[in-house]
């Protein structure tokens, strides 16, 4: 073609594409391919254009793959292939192409950023965090630090996530919402002094900030100054009576002054779903404590209706359990333990938080809350036993290092993570000498407690009674299957323990190979209790006052939970 300028043709095609004119960009790219069929760039750019049209996905892939075949050592064509596949919803092949682009470009950030994004889409969050770490070494930016923190958070590595968020900005430039998130993460880690540092920055900016005031009250509560905590909370709520979190906190403390405001928020269709749900659950607890069962159940049902629709996840749990049992049989026994792991693997609301707090008081032990860091690694490795076998030593070392960084050095670490029941045997192949204990309590009591509390998406089954019944059956069956596979799991009857903690505590510690002392039953501050909504109950020590709640709601449960653990 007379006067044809190939470089200009490609530039114009890319320019049209960047402006959203896909039709023109595609026409220009096709012309480039017709004139320079031997030019890999022409085919790659054509693939980029075609990928914007769902109806052209096959042709787009053909063009993109053709470019990588023509010039397999050019990272740009692999990056174009990877980003286009990702946009088409094909995260797995996209990740492979972007990994190749990153390798060929010697770790260029432009290739590694979409690679990390693809890894996160595949729920390989720990791998994504490592890639963001590599990017930070060569091209740090607030955006990349935040992405690293998000990946680490998803990987349950809170201690390193908060480090990433802190480094995203200097203190005087950090957005307030990030400062608040950092403070909350330090609270979750039990690092109250650090949480106070960040929360004080918010209060220095605005002493009337209700969220910061509530956080300050909670810090006072955890520091043991309950009177000051309640006074600060009430003063802030009086100044902000429509603030949902403060209203909920007031109700949780049994303060009737907030009841009417809470009812208004819970029933306000114009309020945020999260605020309505939080307050409705607080009303549930408020009326439950007053034995007003009809009102408590009404608000629990309202609260559970205020979630976005989500699958209960139990079928996925069954699949993971099946794969984990197969991996357990194939993996060699571990060696070289540097610390003893005690995994509490009961369902939520089975007494696990109390048990963790008590066991963490044994000599040489530390609680690591609901760490669950290996849950970000193990699921993706199930079905790859040979590869996993080569990694167990490194996983053990990294897991112990993470726990030590979060909780301090210890001879014994106590972890309470319900979903560890899915991979319990594999955990025993990572940590030599690991022991598992499965707490259980009256099923009806557990069912009511699960229905009465707010949970994240990984516990979506708690939103209906059918989901709760299915999950409790599944959890009990998972313990049975692990035992059949050869894993030793110690039972812990929470109800019997509550009746005679000295007797059953001593027997449990003997079974777990832990030293026992009745002093472990003493309520002490700052002992590493997991920071969940169980925490207020745990602070009160061993008690039977929460038993029997299922019987009060028998009419609502409809006989579904009138059974004991098999």
pLDDT tens-digit profile of 241-262? 999 999 999 999 999 999 999 9
pLDDT averaged over every residue in the chain = 91
- Return left, alpha or beta for 108; rule: phi > 0 is left, psi -120 to 50 is alpha, else beta: beta
Residue 342 or residue 380, greater confidence: 342
Q: Report the distance separating Cα 434 and Cα 377, nearest Å.
A: 18
CA distances from residue 530 to 247, 399, 421, 439 in whole angstroms, order as listed = 24, 18, 18, 16
- Say if CB 243 and CB 262 are below 8 A apart: no
pLDDT at 504: 93
Residue 156 pLDDT level (bands cut at 50, 70, 90): confident
pLDDT at 532: 43
pLDDT at 104: 97
Residue 346 pLDDT level (bands cut at 50, 70, 90): very high
Q: Does the pLDDT at position 239 exceed 80?
A: yes
CB atoms within 10 A of CB 484: 9
Q: What is the mean pLDDT of residues 532-543?
A: 45
Q: Report the distance separating Cα 287 and Cα 399, nearest Å.
A: 42
User: Which residues have CB under 8 Å from 118's CB, separation 6+?
Assistant: 82, 86, 91, 94, 95, 98
Q: What is the mean pLDDT of residues 434-463?
A: 95
Condensed to tens digits (0 to 9), the pLDDT of residues 384-409 reads 889 999 999 989 998 999 889 878 89
The stretches of 223-346 forming alpha helices (DSSP H) are 226-239, 244-252, 259-266, 273-289, 293-304, 314-330
Residue 281 pLDDT level (bands cut at 50, 70, 90): very high
pLDDT at 560: 86
CB-count burial class (<10 Å; 0-12, 13-18, 19+) for 218 = buried
Asked if 6-162 and 177-304 have one fold, the answer is yes
Q: What is the mean pLDDT of residues 351-376?
A: 89
Quick check: helix, strand or coil at residue 221?
A: helix
Q: Does the pLDDT at position 534 exceed 70?
A: no
According to the CATH classification, is domain 177-304 in 1.10.3860.10? no
The 3 state secondary structure assigned to 65-130 is HHHHHHCCCCHHHHHHHHHHHHHCCCHHHHHHHHHHHHHHCCCCHHHHHHHHHHHHHCCCHHHHHH
Condensed to tens digits (0 to 9), the pLDDT of residues 478-532 reads 999 999 999 999 999 999 999 999 999 999 999 999 999 999 987 654 444 444 4
CB-count burial class (<10 Å; 0-12, 13-18, 19+) for 35 = middle
Q: Does the pLDDT at position 338 exceed 70?
A: yes
Q: What is the mean pLDDT of residues 93-121?
A: 96
Q: What is the mean pLDDT of residues 116-136?
A: 95
CATH superfamily of the domain spanning 315-557: P-loop containing nucleotide triphosphate hydrolases (3.40.50.300)
Q: What is the mean pLDDT of residues 439-451?
A: 96
Share of residues in the chain with pLDDT > 70 (%): 95
Q: Report the distance separating Cα 229 and Cα 547, nearest Å.
A: 28
Structure tokens at 48: 């980029």
pLDDT at 546: 57
pLDDT at 193: 93
- Say if CB 503 and CB 324 are below 8 A apart: no
Q: Indicate the range of 22-26, 160-164, 170-174, 558-562 predicted with least confidence.
A: 558-562
Question: Which CATH architecture is the domain 6-162 placed in?
Answer: Alpha Horseshoe (1.25)
pLDDT at 540: 45
Quick check: helix, strand or coil at residue 439?
A: strand
pLDDT at 405: 83
Domain spans in the chain, listed from the N-terminal domain onward: 6-162, 177-304, 315-557
pLDDT at 100: 97
Residue 336 pLDDT level (bands cut at 50, 70, 90): confident
Q: What is the largest CA-CA distance in the chain?
A: 96
pLDDT at 523: 60
């Amino acid at each position: 073609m007379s006067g044809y300028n190939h470089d200009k043709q490609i530039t114009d095609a890319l320019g049209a594409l960047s402006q959203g004119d896909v039709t023109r960009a595609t026409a220009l790219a096709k012309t480039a391919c017709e004139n320079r069929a031997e030019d890999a760039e022409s085919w790659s750019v054509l693939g980029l254009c075609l990928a914007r049209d769902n109806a052209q996905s096959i042709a787009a892939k053909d063009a993109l793959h053709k470019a990588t075949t023509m010039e397999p050592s050019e990272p740009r064509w692999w990056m174009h292939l990877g980003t286009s596949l990702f946009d088409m919803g094909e995260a797995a092949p996209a990740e492979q192409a972007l990994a190749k682009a990153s390798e060929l470009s010697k770790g260029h950030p432009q290739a590694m950023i979409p690679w990390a994004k693809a890894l996160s889409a595949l729920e390989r969050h720990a791998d994504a965090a490592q890639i963001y770490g590599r990017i930070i070494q060569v091209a740090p930016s607030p955006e990349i630090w935040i992405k690293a923190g998000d990946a680490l958070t998803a990987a349950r590595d809170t201690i390193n996530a908060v480090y990433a968020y802190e480094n995203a900005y200097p203190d005087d430039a950090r957005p307030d919402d990030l400062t608040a998130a950092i403070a909350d993460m330090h609270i979750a880690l039990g690092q109250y002094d650090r949480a106070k540092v960040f929360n004080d920055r918010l209060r220095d900016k605005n002493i009337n900030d209700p969220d910061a005031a509530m956080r300050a009250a909670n810090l006072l509560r955890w520091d043991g100054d309950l009177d000051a905590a309640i006074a600060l909370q009430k003063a802030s709520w009086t100044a902000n009576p429509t603030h949902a979190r403060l209203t909920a906190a007031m109700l949780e403390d049994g303060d009737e002054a907030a009841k009417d405001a809470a009812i208004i928020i819970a029933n306000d269709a114009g309020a945020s779903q999260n605020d309505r749900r939080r307050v409705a659950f607080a009303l549930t607890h408020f009326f439950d404590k007053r034995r007003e069962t009809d009102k408590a159940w009404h608000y629990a049902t309202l609260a559970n209706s205020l979630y976005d629709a989500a699958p209960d996840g139990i079928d996925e749990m069954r699949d993971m359990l099946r794969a984990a049992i197969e991996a357990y049989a194939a993996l060699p026994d571990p060696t070289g333990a540097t610390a003893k792991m005690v995994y509490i693997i009961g369902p939520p609301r089975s007494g696990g938080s109390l048990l963790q707090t008590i066991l963490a008081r044994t000599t040489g032990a530390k609680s690591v809350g609901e760490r669950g860091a290996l849950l970000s690694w193990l699921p993706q490795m199930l079905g790859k036993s040979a590869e996993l076998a080569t990694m167990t030593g490194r996983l053990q070392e990294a897991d112990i290092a993470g726990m030590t960084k979060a909780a301090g050095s210890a001879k014994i670490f106590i972890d309470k993570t319900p979903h560890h029941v899915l991979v319990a045997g594999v955990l025993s192949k990572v940590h030599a000498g690991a022991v598992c204990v499965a707490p259980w309590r009256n099923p009806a009591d557990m069912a009511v407690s699960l229905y009465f509390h707010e949970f994240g998406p990984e516990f979506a089954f708690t939103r209906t009674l059918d989901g709760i019944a299915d999950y409790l059956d599944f959890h009990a069956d998972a313990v049975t299957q692990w035992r059949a596979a050869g894993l030793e799991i110690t039972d812990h009857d929470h109800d019997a323990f509550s009746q005679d903690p000295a007797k059953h505590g001593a027997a449990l510690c003997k079974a777990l190979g832990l030293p026992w002392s009745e002093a472990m039953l003493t309520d002490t501050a700052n002992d590493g209790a997991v920071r969940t909504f169980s925490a207020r109950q745990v602070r009160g020590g061993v008690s039977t006052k929460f038993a029997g709640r299922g019987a009060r709601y028998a009419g609502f449960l409809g006989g579904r939970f009138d059974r004991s653990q098999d």
